[in-house]
Structure 1
């Protein structure tokens, strides 16, 4: 199976597939489904059985690609910084010669990690400003714009009507000017 087939969304949800599979298989692998159904109490329990989970649509939208890229970069930098800080601490406790270079590199990494977090914030704000702004003008501006649009529409309809009359050669006019 190629990557295109692997990435294709399934036609059925996971809950539907697991419910279908649950109907075919017995929960106890060694007990056949026919004997289980005839057990009496077991069949009543399976009637009101709820699935373990129900898929729900995501409440939040996916982050935009540039913001997600910056966030992944920030997480990687922060994790490396934390590892460096831990190594610096352990080297200091062991009184190793590597303690001083590790402390210096941890300080530098902390500055870089702060910059990465600020980069995520700035990238998110820039993306929102370019693509995510929902313009909601005041009701007064909206009504004025609506009136201007109606007036322009009326003018265009009148000019189209006049052009159609001229193309006909004056047909449809009651009197000649």
Structure 2
């Protein structure tokens, strides 16, 4: 994975992890009927938007990198040279 794509992916993973933790905190505040529940839910909504943006950033960064640098082609198992051909019998 190229460096810009890796950087975007790490950033997205961190933001998604923080979003999940914040969602759990908001749920616990709501279940406890705390006054912190409303600000926590608002923060969770904002983090969800940021997490969606971060995941889309990974996809866009990957597409831009591929367009600028081309696809790194590595021969696969299906690209091997054919084996010795067997004679065909009529």
Give TM class, smaller chain: 0.7 to 0.9
User: Deviation of residue 119 (structure 1)?
Assistant: 0.2
- Aligned partner of 2:27 among 78, 85, 89: 89
Note the residue ranges of structure 1 that are not aligned, 5 or more in a row.
Answer: 1-62, 135-177
- Are residue 100 (structure 1) and residue 38 (structure 2) matched? yes
Instruction: Return the structure number with greater relative CO, CA threshold 8 A, min gap 6.
Output: 2
Root mean square deviation, CA, Å: 1.0
Distance in 2 between residues matched to 1:105 and 1:85, nearest whole Å: 9
Q: Which residue of 1 aligns with 2:59?
A: 121
**Secondary structure of 2:68 counterpart:** helix
Where does structure 1 differ by over 4 angstroms across 4 or more consecutive aligned residues? none
Q: How many residues align?
A: 72
Q: TM-score, normalised by structure 1?
A: 0.40
Please say which structure displays the higher CA radius of gyration: 1
Note the residue ranges of structure 2 that are not aligned, 5 or more in a row.
Answer: 73-90
**Secondary structure of 1:96 counterpart:** coil
User: Deviation of residue 132 (structure 1)?
Assistant: 1.9
Distance in 2 between residues matched to 1:90 and 1:68, nearest whole Å: 33
Distance in 1 between residues matched to 2:71 and 2:26, nearest whole Å: 45
